[in-house]
Homo-oligomer: A and B are copies of this chain.
Amino acid sequence: MRCEIISVGTELLMGQITNTNARNLAQELSSLGVGVYFQTVVGDNPQRLEEVFTQALQRTELVILCGGLGPTEDDLTRETVAQALELPLEKNKDWEKKLEHFFQKRQRTMAPINRRQAMVPSGGELLPNDRGTAPGIFLPLENKVVVLLPGPPAEAMPIFRNQVIPRLKEKLQNIGELGILHSKILRVVGMGESSLVSKIGDILQNQSNPTIAPLAKEAEVHLRITALATSVQEAKQLTENTASQIKAILGNAVYGEDDENLELAVAKKLWAQQKTLALAESCTGGYLSHRLTNIAHSSLYFHTGLITYSNQAKIELLGVDSVLIEQHGAVSEEVASEMAHCARKKGEAHLGMGVTGIAGPTGGTPEKPVGLTYIALATPERTICHRYDLWGNREQIKLRASQAALHILWSHLLPL
């Protein structure tokens, strides 16, 4: 079953609000095996709405309209759909009573225009809305389905989940199209999208079910593996098989799955190995500590972070030798290593990290350009340091430096 989602509202077209309904509906539909082929946004204009709706009905079997069911004069979805389908509107007496009750309770008079919200195209089923006055409508046609939902997400989504999905499932079951779609995301760090794609080129070339979609994120890449099957077990099995093949090729570049971000992956390793960590941050300015303390129970591994932005702070608070800074500059392998070492000592932690770089936009020189960053990790045995040439604006450089630091930590914490 192919689907088109039509969102109705001039405020969407003008960019005053974000179209979260389309996203949320698409997610739910995908997991039923319904393919969303088009999403369209159109304003509160009956002629254009009718054109868009008629086209959707030609090119898909399921048309979901969101918005334009309100009580005001520019809310015209109900009437436009009825007209396009040449169906009369019939009054739902129960909902009309509900509306009357609603207004009585608020001691307001119900305007005649409000009664429109009790009208349903002939053959349609009214879907009660317990958060507002605009009900949804489920309208099965000969071999198509039309669904109308109110615009506010807090009203649309409960109606969709509780009332539309069960009806859709029955339809899909009847036509033998109830698919079970299962997805898994593999999260990859330390590798760009194009080198990742070339590494797993063979698998990508031959994909059909599961499908594999690479998605470039800030400083990492996600691979979404999606399988369609007739049972949950089979769908999961298909996904897992492909995930295993990919992981065999990418190895430890795959640091996590689904919602597990890099800070959580690192946190899990620190918890398992009962290790603590102390940080000395310069260019990241607290962002690395922030990410590591976003994890609930981070206090088990994180006790101390020192943000030593100035040379003076590096020397006095952290204990970096001033000679090192004089000789090599604050942004150098030597100072990063010493920062890691001192953080470890000051914080009385198993591991210490030092991050120093030039976040920009100023402060760069030909020898040490904006983006140059040194990140060091001090362990009981040794201190290692990596150099990075990061790019982007100030916030992106902070983000990428923190990502690189977490990647170093992650790699260090891998079992040997």
A interface, CB within 8 angstroms of B = 10-20, 22-30, 36-43, 48, 52, 70-74, 105-106, 108, 111, 113-114, 131, 152, 154, 192-195, 197-198, 204, 213-216, 218, 224, 226, 279, 281, 284-290, 292-294, 296-299, 302-310, 312-313, 317, 346-348, 359-362, 389, 391-396, 398
Q: Main SS of chain A's interface residues?
A: mixed
Q: Are A309 and B313 in contact (CB under 8 A)?
A: no
Task: Give Cα A360–Cα B293 distance, bound, in whole angstroms.
Answer: 11
Q: Are A312 and B303 in contact (CB under 8 A)?
A: yes
- Set of chain B residues within 8 Å of A131, measured between Cβ atoms: 391-393, 396
Q: Are A194 and B15 in contact (CB under 8 A)?
A: no
Question: 13 more A-B contacts (CB under 8 A) besides A13-B37, A131-B392, A290-B398?
Answer: A13-B39, A14-B26, A16-B213, A16-B215, A18-B18, A19-B22, A19-B39, A108-B192, A285-B305, A286-B288, A293-B309, A305-B305, A305-B309
Q: Are B216 and A152 in contact (CB under 8 A)?
A: yes
12 A–B contacts from the bound complex (CB under 8 Å): A11-B224, A12-B26, A13-B39, A15-B25, A15-B26, A18-B23, A19-B19, A111-B194, A114-B194, A289-B290, A296-B394, A304-B306
Within the complex, what minimum Cβ distance (angstroms) separates A279 from chain B?
8
In this complex, what residue of B is CB-closest to A191? B108
- Point out the residue from B11, B27, B106, B305 that lies within 8 Å of A16, measured CB to CB: B27
Q: Are B362 and A346 in contact (CB under 8 A)?
A: no
Q: Are A18 and B15 in contact (CB under 8 A)?
A: no
Asked whether A38 and B15 contact (CB < 8 A) given A286-B290, A347-B313, the answer is: no
Within the complex, what minimum Cβ distance (angstroms) separates A22 from chain B?
7
Within the complex, what minimum Cβ distance (angstroms) separates A357 from chain B?
12
Q: Are A394 and B294 in contact (CB under 8 A)?
A: yes
Q: Are B37 and A40 in contact (CB under 8 A)?
A: no
Q: Are A10 and B213 in contact (CB under 8 A)?
A: yes
Interface centre among A28, A70, A286, A394 (most CB of B within 10 A): A286
Q: Are A309 and B304 in contact (CB under 8 A)?
A: yes
Task: Give Cα A300–Cα B124 distance, bound, in whole angstroms.
Answer: 57
Within the complex, what minimum Cβ distance (angstroms) separates A29 from chain B?
8
- Point out the residue from B28, B39, B285 that lies within 8 Å of A293, measured CB to CB: B285
In this complex, what residue of B is CB-closest to A55? B55
Task: Give Cα A144–Cα B338 distance, bound, in whole angstroms.
Answer: 60
- Set of chain B residues within 8 Å of A113, measured between Cβ atoms: 194
- Set of chain B residues within 8 Å of A214, measured between Cβ atoms: 72
Q: Are B37 and A39 in contact (CB under 8 A)?
A: no
- Point out the residue from B15, B36, B195 that lies within 8 Å of A22, measured CB to CB: B15
In this complex, what residue of B is CB-closest to A185? B16
- Set of chain B residues within 8 Å of A296, measured between Cβ atoms: 360-362, 394
Q: Are B26 and A13 in contact (CB under 8 A)?
A: yes
The list of the 7 closest CB pairs from A to B, nearest first, reads: A285-B293, A286-B289, A15-B26, A305-B307, A286-B286, A15-B27, A39-B41
Q: Are B16 and A224 in contact (CB under 8 A)?
A: yes
- Point out the residue from B71, B204, B218 that lies within 8 Å of A194, measured CB to CB: B71
